[in-house]
Amino acid sequence: MAEATLLQVANLTLSLKTREGEIVPVRDVSFSLGRGEAVGLVGESGSGKTLTGLSLLGLFPPGSKVDGGRISFDGEDLLTLPESRLRAIRGQKISMIFQEPQSALNPVLTVETQIREIYRSHTSLSSTEIGERILEGLRAAGLPDPLTVSRSYPHQLSGGMRQRVMIAMALSLDPLLVIADEPTTALDPTVALQILALLARIRKRSGQSLLFISHDLSHVRRVSDRVLLMYAGRIVEEAPSGRFFSRGPRHPYGRALLASRPEGGILTRKEAPLAAIGGQVPPLWDLPTGCSFAPRCGRADTLCTTTLPLWSGGEGERVFCHHPDESPLGAPVHAA
Ligand X SMILES: Nc1ncnc2c1ncn2[C@@H]1O[C@H](COP(=O)(O)OP(=O)(O)OP(=O)(O)O)[C@@H](O)[C@H]1O
First to last CA, the chain: 39
Cβ proximity to ligand X, 277 vs 284, nearer residue: 284
**Contact mark string toward ligand X, 3..22, x via CB under 6 A:** -------------x-x----
- Assess 106 for contact with ligand X (CB under 6 A): no
Cβ proximity to ligand X, 52 vs 172, nearer residue: 52
- Assess 183 for contact with ligand X (CB under 6 A): no
Residues in 210-249 that interact with ligand X by CB under 6 A:
215
According to CB under 6 A, which one of 11, 20, 22, 45 is a site residue for ligand X? 45
Closest by alpha carbon to 241, among 210, 272, 269, 263? 210
In this chain, which stretch among 46-54, 203-211, 248-256, 301-309 interacts with ligand X, using CB under 6 A? 46-54
- Are 42 and 219 in contact by the 8 Å Cβ rule? The answer is no
Q: How far is the CB of 51 from ligand X (least distance, A)?
A: 3
Cβ proximity to ligand X, 47 vs 184, nearer residue: 47
In this chain, which stretch among 48-56, 127-135, 247-255, 288-296 interacts with ligand X, using CB under 6 A? 48-56
- Assess 47 for contact with ligand X (CB under 6 A): yes
Residues in 153-182 that interact with ligand X by CB under 6 A:
none
Task: Return residues touching ligand X (CB under 6 A).
Answer: 16, 18, 25, 43, 45-51, 61, 215, 284
